[in-house]
Structure 1
C-alpha cells in the first residue's frame, strides 16, 4: 500500500442494512481494511476528517430534516470542510445528496418515488467510470433529488431524475442510485422499507424478481467500476 493513501476505508451508515454491499469485497481484495461508523450514534468526526477514502451510504431520511435529526448538521458541517480539502469521498443515495448539499446545491423532494430497476443514460465525459453501466439496469430507491453543484461534472441521468451521478475532480464521486446492492441482501431492504414500499404502492414480488434478474450481473459490473475508481485514487495499491 502507498504510505500516503490510508489503508483503512471508513463507511458512514445511516441504516444498518444499507452497507457497502459488493464494494466491501473489493476493499478487502485490494488490501484495505473497512471500518463502519453509525450516523446518529457515533461521532463522525474521525470518519469525515480521515485523509483516506470515506464512503457515505444511504438512508431513508432527508438532508433537510435537521430539526428531527440534529446529527445531520454536524455531518454536513464536517463534510463541507472535507470536500473543501478535496479528500477522497464517495456518496451513495443519501450520501450523494449530502455531498450535493455540502457543495451548495439544493436538495428537495423529487417528482416521483423512484424505486426499482432501470437503466441510466450515461454521459460522455472524460474518465467516466460509469460507462460500464451502459444497458445495465441498476437499483433506484429514493424520493429526493438535488440540483447539480456548479463545480460538478454530470455522469448519469434517469428518466425522472436528471442528476443521478456526478464527480468533482478525480476524488469526489456521488451516486444517487444503488450500485453497491448485493443480490442476496435485498430481502433485508424489502423488510426494512415495508412502510415506504406500501405507501408508494410498489409491487414487492415484482421488485424481488427484478433483483433476481439484474442484481447478479450488476455485482460484477459494480465491482469492476469501484475497483477501477479506487485504484485511480491510489495507483500504488
Structure 2
C-alpha cells in the first residue's frame, strides 16, 4: 500500500500521521510544493493526505501549482481513493469539489474545543461530543455538494466534513506534537495578536502531553476509518 502526502510548507509535516501509516504498513511518498510540484499518477496511490500551509487556496497567482493540485485532489476523489485533508488541506478538498473558501469571522489559533455535529447520516465518522484540539486558521469554507458536516465550534461553523466514506476534511490539527506546534509558532508568530480565539505563545505551548496524546489517538481513529473503507 502507498500513501502519498502533499506538503505546502516545510514546517507542517505529517506529525503523528507518519507513525500511524508506518505501523499500518504503508509506503510513504510525498510532493513538497516548496521544492517540486510533481504529482504521482492517481492509480499509483492508495491513500492521499493533504497537509496545511500558510497560503490560501485562492492564491493561484502567487502559487500557480495550486491549480494542478486541486485538479489532482478532485481526480483522487473521483477515483474513490481515501483522502484526508488537514486545515489548508480540508479547504483544498472543499474548493476542488465546488465549495468556496473565504475569511472566517474570527481567526482561531490555539487550543479550543470542537463539538460533534448532530447528523442524521449514519455512515459518517463519529467525533466525541466535545474535544479540545489545536487550531491555526483564518479562513473557512462552504460545504461542497454531497458533504456532511461532522464537527463545529463556537468560532467556526464548519470544522470538519465528510464526503461519502472515503473523504474527510479537518479544519484543525490533531496530528500535532509539541515539536510541530513549536514549529508553527516559530514560523507564524506574527499572527499571535490579541483576539477572542487567539491564544498567546505561552498558552499554546503549555498544553500538557496528555492533550497531544488524546488528539493523536483521535487522528489514528480517523486514519483507521479511512483505511477500512479503502476497498
Query: TM-score, normalising length from structure 1?
Result: 0.87
2:77 matches 1:80: no
Task: Quote the Cα distance in structure 2 between the aligned partners of 1:212 and 1:64.
Answer: 35
68, 71, 85: which one aligns with 2:62: 68
2:108 matches 1:111: no
2:143 matches 1:163: no
Question: Which residue of structure 1 lines up, in the alignment, with residue 169 of structure 2?
Answer: 174
Q: Which whole-Å deviations, capped at 9, do the CAs of 1:60-94 have from their partners, x for residues lacking one?
A: 10011111111111112222333233322111111
Question: Which residue of structure 2 lines up, in the alignment, with residue 23 of structure 1?
Answer: 17
- Quote how far apart the aligned CAs of 1:222 are: 2.3
Task: Quote the Cα distance in structure 1 between the aligned partners of 2:51 and 2:110.
Answer: 18
2:205 matches 1:219: no
Give the 4+ runs in structure 1 shifted more than 6 A. none
Task: Quote the Cα distance in structure 2 between the aligned partners of 1:213 and 1:69.
Answer: 37
Unaligned 5+ runs, structure 2:
none
SS in 2 for 1:100: helix
Superposed, 1:187-198 pairs within 5 Å as 187-198=182-193
2:34 matches 1:52: no
Task: Quote the Cα distance in structure 2 between the aligned partners of 1:183 and 1:230.
Answer: 26
- Quote how far apart the aligned CAs of 1:199 are: 7.9
Shift in CA distance, 19/211, structure 1 to aligned 2, threshold 3 Å: farther
Task: Quote the Cα distance in structure 1 between the aligned partners of 2:46 and 2:67.
Answer: 22
Question: Which residue of structure 2 lines up, in the alignment, with residue 3 of structure 1?
Answer: none
